A and B are shown apart, each in its own frame.
Chain A
Amino acid sequence: MTQARRLRCLANVLAMAACLGTLSAAQPTPSATLSDKPLSQRWLDYNIDARVNPQKHTIDATEVLTWHNFTGQPQDTFPFHLYLNAFQPKSTFISESHLYSPDFQWKEKYYGAEEVKSLEVAGMGDLTSQMRFISPDDGNANDRTVFQVKLPKPVPPNGVVQFKIVFHDQLPEVLARTGYKRDFIMGAQWFPKVGVWWQGAWNCHQFHRTTEFFAEFGTFEVKLTLPQNEVLGASGVEVSSVNNPDGTKTVSFYGEDIHDFAWTAEPEYRVVMDTFQGSMGPVKIRMLVQPGHMDSAPRYLHALKGTLDRFDKWYGPYPYKQITLVDPPHGGLQAGGMEYPTLFTADTTWWVPKGVLMPELVTEHEFGHQYWYGMVATNEFENAWMDEGINSYTEVKIMDSLYGKDTSILNLLGAHLGESDYQRIMYMPSASDDPMMRFGWQYMNSSAYGAITYGKTATVLLTLEKVVGEKTMQRALRTYFMRYRFTHPMPQDFLKTVEEVSGKDLGWYFQQAVYGTQVMDYEILGVHSGREDWYQKKPPKAKKGETLYHSTVLVHRKGDFIFPVNVQVKFDNGESVTEHWDGRDRWVRYQYDKKARIVSAEIDPEHQAWLDKDFFNNSKTREANDVAHHKLAAYWTIVAQWCAQLLAWLV
């Protein structure tokens, strides 16, 4: 190497160093988590530059997706989701909406589209013409929610491929989760998203009415350009905001170790800030609340901080620097109650009384998804119970802890409802319709999907507490979270973790509750106390504590779900006997000879067998007590009288 060349090299190095220095000074490495190292295997890096037109409800964007081949084998075919194409009249999503709700009417304002203008692959050229729409789930040729592109040459193991996709979105008026309502925009499922290589194959389902999402972890650098009056919120953290001469501003966000990116914009948002001190560090709480919903802001905040606290203590730390709560406007509640990484939408109206804990419930539930979906990123298409159901279970535990066991849903005018009852009632009408192990779009109907994935799963896990103990369940969930966060576990991973932590073989339970459709229903078929000397023609007068009685309790397994239960028998001398029955036979009879008569017999006196479909037949008293039915009769009489008086007004 000559002196001149050395000098030129040195100059180049210095120039590069200066350049790098300038770059690093201008763009310090952003961080969106409280960890100093990556939390997930980052398969992909999304870099999206999007311009939003709030008047036309359109987005024009360029997406650069860098995908790392961690599959261990060459890959030349890549499927992508185009979720917004679901909002078209012949899509699978809309067809299923009509199937489940025949009254559903299509309106033009629901139209949404996600059009790929061009798709280039670095080093391979423009492959737009290679794009093919596929319908792996139902063969619907009119469904354009998944496309596939085949590369001219495969990406080798540990190799990298970079896609440059130019796309145009037309947002629908919000029908489900995403879109606009007046000047509110919820930008969800808005960019071409690559499928997940999972269990040795690509997993990229069409968008269905009852299913949600599944995506791979990575980093997101997203620039959104909108009018300057818009208040924005998004996944990750805000990195910069620059006002442009044309009256717009470009806001940059950065997210890492997340698998989706959602954002929202509305000029009217009121911003409420707070901080939660978690075990990994401070978490910034940012709430974007409608002006008319500010009464709900303290309720949101209380629920969110309480939920963060319980999750942190019970299940594991929240590792992100920020959580954003979005409060949709009235008329836009179809965008409410939805989860995205580090951002979720809540749900309220201006008239919700304090005794109706809807804002709290939705806040808890959607934040819970940061764990059961956000970090433990299960396949929501195929195993919806693993996110919605486990989340509903933790919802019960946390809402009960924050608002009281019997009042965690409703506490109004003397009427009350707890979370456990709420989940159980949700499941009961569809108890035997479908097993939990079913792909989301294959349930009998949307009601069965909701009942089983939410209500039944929560009830199954609540009932499991009776077998393994509440504290053990908490430890099992913590172990499951810590072990599988930032991965895509299978159902067996969860079930095995519970078995491992509890030290019990729970196959008998899971076979019935998780894989099966068996229904649990135990009943006290009869209680009887008769005198031992019943055969005498003139027996002596009965004396309490002296007369001997032969008592029987007949317990019946009415349903096909076998579950061990306790039976508590109470006698009128204050004595109480607790029997344990394995429940395998169809019935069992308990017999007692005592100088006391039975007062009552009750199955599951601890009230932990939440799966039992009928609580009323779980107990039987020897003597009737008519106060409850008189109470109902009294109130219904009033209703009938009032109806009659209203009708008589016509005279």
Chain B
Amino acid sequence: MEKGFLSDGCSRVWRHQRILWWLFVVNLALGHLSVFPVVGRWAGVLDHSLAADQLYHGFNLGRYIELGMQPGVGFGSASPGIAAFAILFFLFVLFVTGGILEAYRSPYKISTADFFQASGAYFWRFVRLLIMFVIVLIPVAIAASAIRNWSRNLSDNAAPEKLGFWVDVAGAVVIWFIAMCLRLWFDVAQVHAVATGERAMRRALKRAWGMTFGNFNGVFPLYLVPSLAAFVGMAVLLWIWTKVPSGDTGLAFIVLEIWMLVWLGTRLWQRAGETAWYQRTQIPVGSPTVAVAAPGEAVPGMAAGSQ
């Protein structure tokens, strides 16, 4: 059954691949813009220097560190740009998530206007969900930190040398699992909100809790399988990257961009799979679907129980 939802999700991603490409383009553009200021300073040091060749043909770590020691060129100076543009991308994704879910639940291609209307309609609701998600993540972060401290202590003091490492690995698996479950729960809440036009996000979360953990065996693979695919894809692509000649920047860039694309695609696959699962299992047969409503407008035809 899960395979059906997964393949259904896959076909929805494919059908609405414009979303994937647009997300990718925005991600790439913002990524490029984020390093743009520091690249200019690197160019000032490297473009007329023969020593730059040691960074192009092969990768002399010594030259790279030396570049970072140059006044005004330090790699730390790239961090604010990267952080700022990462936040911009984050806000962008936050904004379009409503449109993405609307597109995935629609049996036909939706117009750009409908996409952005849905994006706007659900933006503030998803902001509220985001705040709740961050609150929920706080104890998880504390637990992760405690496990890390524990594993460090074990690494220093326990007789078996690898014990700390294995505690770290086990802790990471547990934390990863919890984080996935929480993300899945909030994903379902988002899908539910879009499907029903739910405005009360706490109520949506409550409903999503029951749906998610009441059907955990069915719905969890919809999140797990794309996640594993993302990591396997990353491993394969990084392995391919190690085989690319060091001077072939273009090919290396393409390989790594495919990795970025795979990660975006698998995240959308999760969204689409969850939407397919929701539509086929959580909405009673014959229930009317909700129309996209602009903020403040009444939403006609809400599913039962969503008021």
Interface residues of A (CB under 8 A from B): 182, 290, 292, 329-331, 349-351, 406, 410, 413-418, 421-422, 424-425, 428-429, 600, 602, 614-621, 624-645, 647-651
Contact = CB atoms under 8 A, between A and B. Distances in A.
Nearest to B157: A331
User: What range describes how many residues of B lie at the interface?
Assistant: 35 or more
Contact of A619 (B35, B51, B87, B88): B51
A292 B162 contact: yes
Nearest to A630: B249
A410 B63 CA distance: 13
Contacts of A600: 50
A644 B134 contact: no
A633 B67 CA distance: 13
A645 B78 contact: no
A528 to B, nearest CB: 12
A117 B218 CA distance: 75
Contacts of B63: 421, 615-616
A416 B59 contact: yes
A621 B257 CA distance: 32
Interface string B20-63: 00000001101110110011001101111111110110111111
Nearest to A607: B51
B78 to A, nearest CB: 6
A154 to B, nearest CB: 51
Given A331-B157, A637-B28, A645-B263, A628 B52 contact: yes
13 contacts: A421-B60, A421-B61, A616-B63, A618-B51, A624-B47, A626-B46, A627-B247, A627-B249, A629-B46, A631-B55, A637-B28, A638-B259, A648-B89
A18 to B, nearest CB: 53
B145 interface: no
Contact of B31 (A413, A644, A651): A644
B31 A641 contact: yes
Given A633-B35, A645-B260, A648-B93, A331 B62 contact: no
Interface of B: 27-28, 30-32, 34-35, 38-39, 42-43, 45-53, 55-56, 58-63, 65-67, 69-70, 78, 81-83, 85-90, 93-94, 97, 126, 130, 133-134, 137, 155-157, 159-162, 165, 183, 242, 246-247, 249, 252-253, 256-257, 259-260, 263-264, 267
Interface centre among A290, A600, A628, A643 (most CB of B within 10 A): A628
B260 A641 contact: yes
Given A331-B155, A625-B48, A632-B55, 6 more contacts: A349-B161, A421-B62, A614-B70, A633-B42, A635-B256, A645-B89
Nearest to A417: B61
Sort A-B residue pairs by CB-CB distance and give the 5 closest, nearest first.
A421-B62, A641-B31, A628-B52, A644-B89, A619-B50
A628 B56 contact: yes
Contacts of A616: 45-46, 49, 51-52, 63, 66-67, 70
A263 to B, nearest CB: 22
A533 to B, nearest CB: 26
B300 to A, nearest CB: 27
B55 A628 contact: yes
B162 A644 contact: no
A535 to B, nearest CB: 27
B119 to A, nearest CB: 12
Nearest to A633: B39
Interface centre among A350, A414, A614 (most CB of B within 10 A): A414
A61 B28 CA distance: 70
Contacts of B61: 410, 415-417, 421
A330 B156 contact: yes
B162 A428 contact: no
A413 B242 contact: yes
B157 A629 contact: no
A620 B31 contact: no
Given A329-B161, A330-B161, A634-B249, A416 B48 contact: no
Contact of B59 (A414, A618, A649): A414
Contacts of B70: 614, 616
Contact of B62 (A425, A619, A625, A639): A425
Contacts of B85: 640, 644
B234 to A, nearest CB: 9
Contacts of A632: 39, 42, 46, 55
Interface centre among A329, A637, A649 (most CB of B within 10 A): A637
Given A425-B66, A619-B50, A643-B82, A636 B38 contact: yes
A416 B159 CA distance: 34
Given A621-B49, A625-B47, A651 B35 contact: no
Nearest to B26: A644
Nearest to A173: B157
Contacts of B162: 292, 350
B86 A644 contact: yes
Contacts of A627: 52, 56, 247, 249
A618 B67 CA distance: 13
Contacts of A621: 48-50
Contacts of A615: 49, 51, 63, 66
B89 A647 contact: yes
Contact of A634 (B165, B252, B263): B252
B51 A626 contact: no
A637 B32 contact: yes
Nearest to B230: A645
Contact of A647 (B35, B48, B87, B137): B87
A79 to B, nearest CB: 37
A187 to B, nearest CB: 21
A430 B252 CA distance: 36
Given A641-B28, A651-B97, A636 B39 contact: yes
Contact of B256 (A292, A628, A638, A645): A638
Contacts of A618: 49-51
A110 to B, nearest CB: 14
